[in-house]
Each structure stands twice: as C-alpha cells, then as structure tokens.
C-alpha cells in the first residue's frame, strides 16, 4: 500500500454558532480548532466572505488556515467551499474536525474520504465540494444507543467524565499536527490511533 502524504493547508472545525451550543457534543470540532489556535497563539477574526471566523498558524514552516464556520452545521460546506475556492486550495489539502457518534469518548481517529455517515456538516461539505476526498479528524462523542435519539444527544452537553475524555482526545490530536503539516499522514494516524 502506498504511503499517504498530505499537503495540509486548511483545517475546518465543525460546530454550531451561539452560546446555546458552545458546550454541546456537536461542537467538538470547534473545541478542537479553538485548542489548535490557543496552542499556536492564533486569534480568530470574523471574515464575511468565508462565512465564519478565520485564523492562520505557522507549522513546520507552512501557513495553515483555521476556519470556524458561523453558518449552522448543515451549511458548513458554504464556508468551507468559500475559503478553498478563494485560495485555490484542493479538497485533499483540507482536514475537517468533527464530532463522531460511532466512536466512544476517549477515541479520536484520522481518515481520508468516505461518506458522511449521517453527519449534516460532512453531508454539506461533500455536496458543496462535489467530492469526498478530504481528510477527517473524527472526535468520538459516543452514541445514545438508538438512532432516533441522535439529534437530541449531539445537541446536549456530554457528562463531565466524557468531556474530560474528549478534551484528552483533542490534546492528542493537536499533538500530531506537526506530523500532518510535515506531510506524514500515516505517522500521525499511527500515533493518534495508538493512544
């Protein structure tokens, strides 16, 4: 199997805007991207043309855009497509961080491509980009046990123990960013998945 490399230029964190949603499971992507900005001393600023807040970090000698869409989750593709198209960035140079109900809290995984798995943010990004070939950081938030409970579940806050586990995952994921920036996708994946 060929070793995958990555030319990372943009990280998008998915979530819903507004204080009502700040601590809900669906905002795990925001939690991740905010931690990246904090660690690399970057400040988000509103950018109307990208339908969100942007920041830029320098990592392994490369500039990487951070984007927090201020659209609601099901319109995440609008912000993502606007930034990629403005800077002529390809989908395979994009990492999308999102909550993942099919992984338990305490688990974060990297993957490339695939479907949306019912996630409305991913669904809209795939629709707007017209492809699935972007990289994903799946942050486990657990599953309520029945598909009919998923919407309510992701729009509520995790338990204290779950939030501690999710925050630990986010720290582990932030720690592999230098590998991703250096193009070493497989190395980053191996390190993160062995946690």
pLDDT per position as a tens digit, 138-188: 999 999 989 899 989 999 999 999 999 999 999 999 999 999 999 999 999
Per DSSP, what are the bridge partners of residue 137?
97, 110
3-state DSSP: the chain helix, strand, coil percent, rounded to 5?
A: 45, 20, 35
Mean pLDDT of the chain: 94
Question: Which string of b and e fits 83-121 if b means at least 16 CB within 10 Å?
Answer: bbeeeebebbbbbbbbbbbebebbbbbbeeeeebeebbb
Domains of the chain: 10-193 (3.40.50.1470)
In the residue annotation, 156 being an active-site residue is answered as no
Q: Of 114, 119, 106, 31, which Cα lies nearest the Cα of 77?
A: 119
- Residues 1-43: tens digit of each pLDDT: 344 678 999 999 999 999 999 999 999 999 999 999 999 999 9
Catalytic residue chosen out of the listed positions 26, 51, 98, 135 = 26
- pLDDT of 49 strictly over 70: yes
- Residues 82-115: tens digit of each pLDDT: 999 999 999 999 999 999 999 999 999 999 999 9
Dihedral pair phi/psi, residue 106, rounded to 5°: 100, 5
User: What is d(CA 157, CA 33) in angstroms, rounded to the nearest whole number?
Assistant: 18
């Amino acid at each position: 199997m060929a070793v995958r490399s990555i030319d990372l230029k943009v990280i998008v964190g998915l979530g819903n805007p507004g204080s009502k949603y700040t601590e809900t499971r669906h905002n795990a992507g925001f939690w991740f991207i905010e931690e990246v900005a904090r660690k690399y001393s970057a400040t988000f600023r509103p950018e109307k043309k990208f339908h969100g807040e942007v920041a830029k970090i320098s990592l392994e000698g490369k500039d990487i855009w951070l984007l927090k869409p201020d659209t609601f989750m099901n319109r995440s593709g609008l912000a993502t497509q606007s930034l990629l198209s403005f800077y002529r960035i390809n989908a395979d140079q994009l990492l999308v961080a999102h909550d993942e109900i099919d992984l338990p809290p305490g688990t974060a995984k990297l993957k490339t491509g695939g479907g949306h798995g019912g996630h409305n943010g991913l669904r809209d990004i795939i629709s707007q980009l017209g492809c699935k070939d972007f990289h994903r950081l799946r942050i486990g938030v657990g599953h309520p046990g029945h598909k009919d409970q998923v919407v309510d579940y992701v729009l509520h806050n995790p338990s204290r123990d779950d939030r501690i586990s999710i925050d630990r995952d986010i720290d582990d994921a932030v720690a592999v960013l230098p590998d991703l920036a250096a193009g070493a996708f497989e190395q980053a994946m191996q390190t993160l998945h062995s946690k």
